[in-house]
A and B are shown apart, each in its own frame.
Chain A
Amino acid sequence: MAGVTLRSVRKAFGSVETIHGVDLDVRDGEFVVFVGPSGCGKSTLLRMIAGLEDVTAGEVAIGGRVVNDVEPADRGTAMVFQSYALYPHMTVAQNLSFGLRMNGNPREDTERRVAQAARILQIEPLLGRRPRALSGGQRQRVAIGRAIVREPEVFLFDEPLSNLDAELRVQMRVEIARLHGELGTTMIYVTHDQTEAMTLADRIVVLRAGRVEQIGRPLDLYDHPVNQFVAGFIGSPRMNFLAAESLGGGRLRLTGQGGAEIALPAAQGLAPGQRATLGIRPEHVLGAGQGECDLPLVVDVAEHLGATSYLYGNTKAGEPLVVQAGAARGAHAGDRLTISIPAARAYLFDPDGRRMT
């Protein structure tokens, strides 16, 4: 087992730099998730750790050893690909054992490892089948099995659940969490799905445009985002953002809300007339009169999920707003409601998107 360290890691394709100096310490046995929108560089970063992409500048170390110039196979990593990347002409058993057989691993040891991986992933009945005779979930298990038999120090997952349907995704998510518990190996997992990140990670690394925005435990990111991007990316449905302007003395006018005002301690630092953005999570929005600032809302779409309901609406100025409606469970599209924002739950971001506290 080993930790992974990135020091000022950069990646450029020709003259275009896509990773702009990433520093990260992944501890031994930790489950770290890289999350971010498409094109943020999370897969590139993972592939640099695997050795499938060269490091333009900086250092990648695994288990304390700098591996920039070490062959991918010698880094002690195993990777699970989004497309599974199974060998289509081989049976499941052959897929699992291929790498070991090609490297002259003793036959008994190969068989033991394959049997162990098959048992862990419950794919023993599938060992004689070819990949095309397997469902998406089964293929993903085989792909994970192929990583397990290598007995790596670090597992790398590149969006492994993207090709699965919603139900299977939840199931496999639980299995990967169980696998981490069972093996205790360092795992680095790339996804664009913040739910996967929140549920799986010991720590989440939020990336945007090749830069780390924030690193932290899931609930820390959720409760204490350092900027508007992280606040908007972590949490589903995403945080609501309302345009605001300082009136001085910690008071804000919500510019899109017909002069509605709210007092926030964080706004003390703003000069009168300075613009800012107020953030409020859907589940923190309250019914009329229960918070410090009441706003009218026209419901466009009401999603009733049973345990909870989401109301998607527009405020007076056309700013979209999502409300998790415990109280307004019976609301329907077209309804006009009054909602209220509790100051204690509101976030404030300066014009550059940095959170103000």
Chain B
Amino acid sequence: MARPDRSGHGGDPSSVVLSNPAPESPPMRRRTGTAYGFLTPYLLIFAVFWIWPILYSFWLSFLATRQLPWTFRPAMTWGRLAQDPAFLNALENTLLILVVQVPVMIALATVLAVLLNSSLLRARGLMRFAFFAPVVVGEVAYAAVFRLMFTADRGIVNKVLEAAGLPAVDWFSDPTAAMALIVMAVTWRWAGYNAIIILSGLQSIPDDVYEAATLDRVSPIRQFLFITLPLLRPVILFCVVLSVIGTMQLFAEPFLITNRGGPGGATETLGVFLYRQGFTVLNFGYASAVAYTIAAIAVLISLLNLWLGRERA
């Protein structure tokens, strides 16, 4: 699952312009000072509501916060992580979703992008919007619709299954079905978004490369495998990294659709577990340690992806 990069640091890393500023002259320095003057309100808010909570939560992650006064006891937070079955369950669920959902969704998004790029497709603009639209739908609204669709006795999905002669599935009580439901929901919401990103990559491949391949008697399928996919690698990698980060933070779907990670914690993700520790149990120290663990795993997996997908000389 990929989510829009809310930090504003998204986009093509190769577009970063490296500058090597010369020593500043007095008027230049004055202008720089003015610029910082204008930036000060933002920087103050950024420091108070962004930097400080990040630093403070790191400190909190070493404190036992179940009772006052809070004391420095890393064993109660970091030490507990490795032994807490609920945390390990949430970690396992999250990684399972990551391993199953991300590859399926990226593959689906790539196929969708190719179809959306096809000159044979009619109403292309409308189709592109339609596949992108789920991202615009509010999480609560879409979760409610999914709950209705998958309700055991009245849901349309079970009605369709039964009409096809298949047994109805108890989507919210069966652990495997619930997990499948989460995977389907997340894929529905984010596949189109990723397809649009991949589509932009597809459109940057010049037509004459394909014409050259056509003259080289390379079939369309082989053109896709040996030309399109390798040239899309940086874009696909970008989508994978976004999706990994998004999945590690996955919260809305298991919280809203499968009712707080149910049944019996079968779909509890690290995000839901973190919420439970922080806002239900009010164990801020442990929740902070979980938050840092989520971030660390996301960074590690993303780095691994970047390393695996690096351009080889």
Contacts and interface: CB of A to CB of B under 8 A. Distances in A.
A99 B216 contact: yes
Interface centre among B209, B216, B218 (most CB of A within 10 A): B216
B96 interface: no
A170 interface: no
Interface string B193-228: 000000000000010110111111110001000110
Nearest to A71: B217
B206 A102 contact: no
B15 to A, nearest CB: 16
Contacts of A81: 208, 211-212
Given A85-B206, A85-B208, A87-B209, A102 B216 contact: yes
A78 to B, nearest CB: 7
Given A87-B227, A88-B231, A89-B230, A102 B217 contact: yes
B211 A85 contact: yes
Contacts, number: 59
B231 A73 contact: no
Nearest to A81: B208
Nearest to B231: A89
Interface in B134-167: none
Contacts of B226: 98, 102
Nearest to B210: A85
Interface string A67-89: 00001111001110101011111
A236 B91 CA distance: 75
A150 B217 CA distance: 11
Interface residues of A, number: 23
B231 A79 contact: no
Contacts of A87: 209, 212-213, 227
Contact of B215 (A78, A86, A88, A89): A78
Given A88-B231, A102-B222, A102-B226, A83 B217 contact: no
Nearest to A82: B208
Contacts of B214: 52, 72-73
A50 interface: yes
A146 interface: yes
Contacts of A150: 215-216
A288 B214 CA distance: 61
A88 B212 CA distance: 12
Contacts of B216: 73, 98-99, 102-103, 146, 150
Nearest to B313: A130
A81 B214 CA distance: 13
B211 A99 contact: no
B229 to A, nearest CB: 10
B215 A73 contact: yes
B209 to A, nearest CB: 5
Nearest to B211: A52
A276 B231 CA distance: 58
A85 B209 contact: yes
A79 B222 contact: no
Given A83-B206, A87-B209, A89-B231, A77 B215 contact: yes
Contacts of B227: 87
Nearest to B208: A85
A185 B27 CA distance: 67
B231 A98 contact: no
A106 to B, nearest CB: 16
A26 B272 CA distance: 74
A146 B230 contact: no
Contacts of B231: 88-89
Contact of B218 (A52, A77, A98, A146): A98
Interface in A81-128: 81, 83, 85-89, 98-99, 102-103
Contacts of B230: 89
A167 to B, nearest CB: 25
Contact of A103 (B206, B208, B209, B217): B217
Contacts of A79: 211-212, 215
A152 to B, nearest CB: 9
Contacts of B212: 79, 81, 85-87, 146
Contacts of A98: 213, 216, 218, 226
A83 B215 contact: no
A86 B209 CA distance: 6
Interface in B226-272: 226-227, 230-231, 233
A166 B79 CA distance: 70
A265 B286 CA distance: 105
Nearest to A95: B212
16 contacts: A50-B215, A51-B215, A52-B214, A72-B215, A73-B214, A79-B211, A81-B208, A85-B206, A86-B209, A86-B212, A89-B230, A98-B213, A99-B213, A103-B217, A146-B216, A150-B216
Given A89-B230, A102-B217, 5 more contacts: A73-B214, A85-B212, A86-B212, A88-B209, A99-B217
Q: Which 9 A-B pairs have the closest CB atoms?
A: A99-B216, A73-B217, A85-B208, A85-B212, A89-B230, A102-B218, A81-B208, A72-B215, A85-B209
